[in-house]
Amino acid sequence: MISKHNLRTLQELRFNGRYSTSISSGPLGREGSRKARCAELLRYRSNLLGSDLRITNFGGGNTSSKLEQADPLDGQPKQVLWVKGSGGDLGSIKRSGFATLYLEKLLALEGIYRGVNLEDEMVDMYPLCTFGNNPVAASIDTPLHAFLPFPHVDHLHPDWGIALAASANGKTKMEEFNRKFGHKLVWLPWQRPGFELGMMLKKIVEETPGCDGVVLGGHGLFTWARHNVNLISTRSPSSISLGSSSKITPTLQVIILVETDS
Ligand SMILES: [Zn+2]
């Protein structure tokens, strides 16, 4: 699926000048350095995604990583969701633009959720899940990232993805896309972003082993990766017709990054 020519190395990314090697090698301690490197990769990935208008329209979308960090209160390791804060632009976001939240606390909110008609009350809970002294406000898309059980999640609004997601025959065309390009995207009917959509994403991923992305009807895309080191960009070689006169040329996977613990 991933051929040599579409695998861009970290070396090339450094050459492009936007990845901070000083942070990746880090003057901080071992733990601090690793955390800073992972957060920096999230920032860098976000800037790359946001700077290519084929991948997302201006300001559109948000990104996240689930990172292990020492709890400042007791020193114990905790899973922390780093997710783009409310507002702002992916192409220019800095590390200071991400909200940080205890993942465990976010996931526990499912236990007090009273249903779609009261989903807005959950927004008041997000600040109570903040990790560290971070003033960045979590967006209403936060549960969408929290409840997808993958370390690195991207939610994007590419023009082609919106065209697909908003087409009457979008689900059929997504299935054609899957057959043609070897993906396993699943279709989720439109649902307003919020806690309910987080629950729906969790459910559809549990029910569809091996799926590698979600098309949100009338909205956009969710894609993810388990690892965060080599930047992978697969561009589809041909177009899919949506009807008599309109075509889309998907640029999927787009960027799903980078990891290594080595
Ligand atoms: Zn969106």
Token pair, residue 22, equals 């000083």
Distance from the CA of 155 to the center of ligand 1, in angstroms?
Answer: 6
Q: Tell me the one-letter amino acid at 234.
A: T
Closest CA to 80 of 172, 9, 151: 151
For residues 187 and 249, is the Cβ–Cβ distance under 8 A? Answer: no
d(CA 258, CA 36): 14
Distance from the CA of 71 to the center of ligand 1, in angstroms?
Answer: 30
> What is this structure's pTM?
0.81
| Alpha-carbon 236 to chain mean position | 20
Q: pLDDT band at 238, cuts 50/70/90?
A: low
Tell which wins on pLDDT, 67 or 258: 67
Amino acid 262: pLDDT: 35
Distance from the CA of 144 to the center of ligand 1, in angstroms?
Answer: 10
Q: What is the DSSP string of 148-212?
A: S-SSEEEEE--HHHHHHHHSTTHHHHHHHHHHHHT--EEEE----SSHHHHHHHHHHHHHSTT--
d(CA 235, CA 220): 17
End-to-end CA distance of the chain: 24
Give tens-digit pLDDT for 30-65. 555 666 778 988 998 888 888 878 778 876 789 999
Distance from the CA of 76 to the center of ligand 1, in angstroms?
Answer: 34
CATH 3.40.630.30 fits 4-259, yes or no: no
Token pair, residue 3, equals 């051929």
Distance from the CA of 39 to the center of ligand 1, in angstroms?
Answer: 22
Tell which wins on pLDDT, 59 or 139: 139
Amino acid 105: pLDDT: 98
